[in-house]
Chains A and B, each alone.
Chain A
Amino acid sequence: MTVADRVQPVDLDLAAQPPSSAFRRWLAPATFAVFGLVNIFVLGLYSHSGDATFAFSQAFAKVTVPNLSLPAATTCYVCGAITLVIAAVRAFAPLGMALKRVSIAVVVFLFIVALLCWADAGLTTAFNVVNLLQGTLNDSIPIMLGALTGVVCSRSGVINIGIEGQLLLGAFTAAIVSTVTGSLWLGLVCGALAGSLVAVLLAVFAINYRVDQVVLGVVLNTLILGLTGFLYDDLMVPYTNTLNSPPTFTAIKIPLLGDIPIIGPVFFDATVFLYLTYLALAGVQVGLFATRWGLRTRAIGEHPVAADTVGIPVLAMRYRNVIAAGVIAGIGGAYFTIGSVGAFGKGMTSGEGYIALAAMIFGRYTPFGAISAALLFGFMTQLQSIMSTLNTPIQSNLLLMTPYIVVIIVLAGLIGKVRGPRAEGIPYVKA
């Protein structure tokens, strides 16, 4: 046999598959199938007899939408059957990227429908969908804003693990300033500045002193958790009335838009925080992808040396972006106190900064993606809190885990490998 004979190309498609790809290939269909089976055998079989009723209007709405009643068990079976079909299609038919994503969305949607039917079956109270969605949007505000902060930092080449700390200090500062001055707006501004104060620390140590950014972020979070905890115990608790009883923003209903059924109350009847979130989303999305600032920001996050050689000041720009992005997270933090419950509580952000980080990655470092992911997590949290009031036979602690379980499943299984900006987390050293 000559060499020429032996230089036959091997079958590329078979040879090119790394060993782990079989696992990847079957993961999504298998997960779908599990969802389908749960819909049928857990939710369907064990549901109470009777109908599940869903309401689509809030009390006092100008235009009302009639309630919808579904036979609970049957709906669960139908959802499960459709899910199994999707699992089979996903397993055996070649789908494009877009269709794959749609399939994930549909499976999750069907699971939620089945879950709600099961939970509401046979109850006299209707399950209010508008409340669920409205709560979702509002509850997700800190996660959404935190994720946007993360997107701007990462795109600039700095990993921001300190979002949690930014939220917490924002919440604390907004509460104390609003209480002392009596001005909500001043509280909001100071909360925002607190977020960027944390960012200043992050920027100085990460950009100037090139400290490992993951370690740095965790240290910052711990520092702020300790600091606010200490101040809370020693100042706020003894002087609750003078230091920790801020007013809260009230909802502003946008004329006309706010009266549209379903959409109105969900999107256009909220505190200023939600409207600021819209602004931040639009600003970051347009800014990153359609302006000079955005092009340069993405350049310093991908290939800072190239940016430097065309005269872009890499370090200065990273500084500016990280600090400016801190404002967004600071506002998100302020929502915890003056946008929602009022008084500050120790460690009240309870890890939402980390969820924001996950949302950023899950959203592939794009503003829209990050917001969608944040909404998914917010939805799970909201669902859990509403279900726990429905007298469902699930342990409430078990329910509390669901948002995090969804994060894990989504990140590990369905999203696959997300490539971040190439220079993310690598300090830039001028040659």
Chain B
Amino acid sequence: MLRIVLARSSRAMSSASPASASDSDTSVRKIGKALETYLKHSQQHVAMMEKHRAEFETGRRHLAKMMSLDIHELDQEAIDRAILYLFPSGLTDPNARPVMRPPDEILPKFQRFTFDEEGKPEGSRFFTLSPKIYGLLSDIGVKTHSVMKFYDEHVGSRSVNRSDLEPANLSGSQWVTADKLKKKLSEKFSKELYGQVIIAFEHLASLPGSAIEQKFLMEFREPMTASTGSKLFGPAIPEVHVCAVTNRRYAEVTTRCKDTRATVKVTDAGKGKFDIDGLQLHDFRHLQAREILLAPMIVSQSLGRFDVTATTSCISNTLPEAPNKAPLMRSGGMSALPRAVRHGTALCVAALQPEAIEPLRLSGLLTLDPRKNERSKVNQPGARAKWIWKRR
């Protein structure tokens, strides 16, 4: 091996000897050849972008003249509409249609690097092509090892705080999305790589003793409250209205449980009255029904503050085959009507008292109960029941 290197070195030396008489400028230019090429390409790219921007502005002015519009009114939406009018296209692929957008959005971006005086790229992970995301992965790995070592050294010891030996507390927050992580790191990466980062984060957060890295983990977490308002299963939280006559706030919602549909109206500044189809709370003789009806008030700590008015109906009576059957008074069991009213009451209380949304959501009172009676099947006594097996 050494002989080959010696031969190549000597050959290089022979070609280097005639240039040894040159001054240091030649040396600097030769050393930074890659850097010189990069700078030349960078200048070319900047010049090209300037030319394209000027052309875009000229085109915008011509387009304004053609469409008889003021140049200041011609924003990107107006440009898109004008191009659609001037060049109607039946192509089904949106990317194949004519477009006029700023060159910064259309032309490929130039990769920016930093070099030192010898033309070496900066960053020890430069040749991984994604140095920042891989650096984050390495940070997670190193912190995982340090957390494991910390726990092994201090488990069963009294010198360390007990809360430091707990896993990190991540409740009420979620991991940043891939787009936000790309913006945070100023680097592009694939979805698989993002998945690996999340797996590494989850592993670090699940370790005992990872509470000491709580600050590092929370840098990549964001609060969850802003995104849970519109993710309820079932009816959404209704809007609050003000009654013009009594000048009191109220909310109204329609929901269901099994075969019972309930339209509930909750009024603020009340006395805790219940009016369910003309019945008050004490008219429900079962304790279970009363507990079900009072649950939203107890969870939101607003007993005696809201008045509840509800009307219920049977869903089966509104089906297309209903006229052929005797109308039912009510169905769904004893707790279906209170539970339907409870769901509606909880949604209205959440609208009138926004700070109670989280306790109600955690209690499950804002979620629709989709269960209903399963229909009977042919060739068996009920929905799933079978006859008793007999050998012979």
Our verdict on whether A and B bind, yes or no, reads no
